[in-house]
Amino acid sequence: MLKLYHAEPRANSLKALLCFQEKNLPFQSVYVDLHKFEQHESWFVALNPEGQVPVLDHDGVIITQSTVIGEYLEDAFPQAPPLRPADPVGRARMRQWNKFCDEHFMNYVSMHGWHRMVSIIARSIEGGEFEKLLARIPLHEQREKWRTARSGFSEADLSNATRKVSVAIDRVEQQLAQTPWLAGDSYSLADINFYSSGGMALHRLFPELQVEKIAPNLMRWLERVSTRPGVQAALNMPDHTNPALRTFAGEQR
């Protein structure tokens, strides 16, 4: 049996949910409430010592890391619609884009997400309680991120992140001028990764970058991705985000 522990259909949770929906794989959905910090509770840390979603449980075998979950589903269920190019070059291109999304792009979009949304949650918690919650976070980097979300990201870091997002947009635009999908002729895990990591709403999240004007190929790609039935199905999964906190997340829809 396939069981996916995930939060709202956004970012890394969305990436894993999209793979299931695109491959039409039945799975049991287990919602982990990040607003209640369930990801740091001992039962969840026993599943994933990093205290983060998504987590896949396949007949008792635990797989973490959203990009790895996507590749795992490809290997374990080759008969379901493939999300990997058939040829080695296409697969290499797909993995290069995945690396780019995981190691660069996602972090910079995420900083703005944390600045606009998570900081509101962090500041709403009383100081002593906040320190107790921080003490439970297993990853040092994540603990620091929560702390910064409360104190505030610097303008210099935020504008550097915007600059990096702008570089990513140029890179994707150039690729999509040459091929219909990021890794070539077929829709793949690379498209899923870029879309979930923030590509789904760059034009709304960063209006100052004028994405609609400078990246017509990216906008056409976005239309093709977002109207896919698998994508619609994933986006329509329950969203428990407090409506007052949806300024960043809600705009992504």
Ligand X SMILES: N[C@@H](CCC(=O)N[C@@H](CS)C(=O)NCC(=O)O)C(=O)O
Nearer to ligand X, 12 or 119 (CB): 12
Binding mask 52-71 for ligand X (x = CB under 6 A): xxx----------xxx----
DSSP strand pairing (28-31 vs 2-6): parallel
Q: Which stretch binds ligand X (CB under 6 A): 10-18, 89-97, 187-195, 204-212?
A: 10-18
Chain position whose Cβ is nearest to ligand X: 52
* Residue 5: closest CA among 24, 31, 43: 31
Q: Least Å distance between CB 237 and ligand X?
A: 14
The site for ligand X, by CB under 6 A, has a size of 13
Sole window of 48-56, 73-81, 153-161, 165-173 interacting with ligand X (rule: CB under 6 A): 48-56
In angstroms, give the least distance from the CB of 56 to ligand X.
Answer: 10
Look at residues 253, 184, 173, 183 and name the one whose alpha carbon lies nearest to residue 220. 173
- Of 30 and 219, which CB lies nearer to ligand X in the complex structure? 30
Per CB under 6 A, does 98 bind ligand X? no
Judge contact between 78 and 28, C-beta under 8 A: no
Is residue 34 near ligand X by the rule CB under 6 A? yes
Among 95, 142, 162, 226, binds ligand X (CB under 6 A): 142
52 vs 166 by CB, closer to ligand X:
52
Nearer residue to ligand X within complex by CB, 13 or 252: 13
For residue 227, how many C-alpha atoms fall within 13 Å in the half-sphere facing its CB? 6
Residue type, position 85, single letter: P
Query: 119 or 184, CB closer to ligand X?
Result: 119
Taking the C-alpha atoms of residue 81 and residue 131, their distance in angstroms, rounded to an integer, is 46
Closest approach of ligand X to the CB of residue 174, in Å: 25
Q: Which residues pair with 86 in a beta bridge?
A: none
Ranges of H-type helices in the chain? 11-23, 42-47, 66-76, 88-100, 106-113, 119-124, 127-135, 140-151, 155-178, 189-196, 202-205, 211-214, 216-226, 229-235, 246-249
In the complex, least distance from residue 84 CB atom to ligand X, rounded to whole angstroms: 17
**Considering the rule CB under 6 A, would residue 197 count as an interface residue with ligand X?**
no
101 binds ligand X (CB under 6 A): no
Among 11, 19, 200, 235, binds ligand X (CB under 6 A): 11
DSSP β-ladder status, 61-64 and 28-31: unpaired
CB 151 to ligand X: min, Å? 17
DSSP 3-state of 62:
strand
Burial of residue 140 (number of CB atoms within 10 Å: 0-12, 13-18, 19+): exposed
The nearer residue to ligand X, 133 or 219, going by C-beta atoms, is: 133
Binding residues for ligand X, rule: CB under 6 A, are 7, 11-13, 34, 39, 52-54, 65-67, 142
